[in-house]
Amino acid sequence: MARPLRAAFVGAAAVTVFGAVTGREKMQWAAKPLLMPLLAADVAVHGSALDRTDRRVLLGSLAAATVGDVLLIDPDDDRRLIAGASSFAVMQTGYAWLWSRRGARPRASIAVPRVAAWLGAAALMRMKAPTVALPLTAYGATLGTAATLASDPELARDAKNVAGLNIPNRDPRSRVGVGALLFTLSDGLIVLRRVFARSEKSRRVTEGVILATYAAAQYLLTDPRVHR
């Protein structure tokens, strides 16, 4: 079945990334706010088989992500960064709830490396960016929880699980772990950009990678077939 709304999402994501890399903020303002509404519209069209509560939580998570997207069009404003992280915390909480509804549970082998990465990022921000360390660390806890649940083999029993990650196969649910990993990579790069990127070029290129991995993550995580 054709999925024109998801195809439009890919186009809007490409424009958003290009606008970030080239410093064309007007392009980002035109395209980035469309990303999550396009995925939400796809859920509305193709998600009729979803449980009503699950559908509402997924749409609510995408609404929270839309707010975060708009706030983070200017990622160098710390107030907007903190507010955006709060919006994404709502989204991650929604995703974690959905994975738990599908039977996912935290497993030590999956959780331990994610907790270690969270603690490392928290320590780095505490040293290099104390003004945003606390709220971003709190957001990281919601991200880590969702990512841990997303890689539980229970979500995709036919998929191989290697080093705490479900390997994608034909089952859309097997791709959730990769989506969560891409989200973690994207948010980790936000921390590194905030702390280490000094030149205008490095900040633009890093922002482009952040947006590309973020868009790919959302594309995988919000497919209605994942939530049936």
User: 165: which strand partners?
Assistant: 162
pLDDT, tens digit (0-9, with 9 covering 90-100), for 130-148 = 999 999 999 999 999 999 9
Q: Please say whether the beta carbons of 214 and 16 come within 8 A.
A: no
User: 197: which strand partners?
Assistant: none
Interval 180-185 mean pLDDT: 96
Q: Please say whether the beta carbons of 74 and 112 come within 8 A.
A: no
- Which amino acid belongs to residue 74? D
pLDDT, tens digit (0-9, with 9 covering 90-100), for 63-85 = 999 999 999 998 889 999 999 99
Count CA atoms within 13 Å of residue 84 on its CB side.
18
Give the separation between CA 61 and CA 66, rounded to whole angstroms. Answer: 9
Q: Mean of the per-residue pLDDT values for the chain? A: 94
Query: What are the φ and ψ backbone dihedral angles of 31, each rounded to 5 degrees?
Result: -100, -40
pLDDT, tens digit (0-9, with 9 covering 90-100), for 198-217 = 899 999 999 999 999 999 99
pLDDT, tens digit (0-9, with 9 covering 90-100), for 145-171 = 999 999 999 998 888 988 888 899 989
Q: What is the pLDDT of residue 161?
A: 87
Long-range interactions of 62-70: CB distance < 8 A, separation 24+: 62/36, 62/37, 62/91, 62/222, 63/36, 64/88, 64/90, 64/91, 64/94, 65/36, 65/91, 65/218, 66/33, 66/35, 66/36, 66/37, 66/40, 69/32, 69/33, 69/35, 69/36, 70/32, 70/33
Instruction: Please indicate, yes or no, whether the overall pTM of this predicted structure exceeds 0.85.
Output: yes
- State yes or no: pLDDT of 1 exceeds 60: no
Q: What is the pLDDT of residue 2?
A: 67
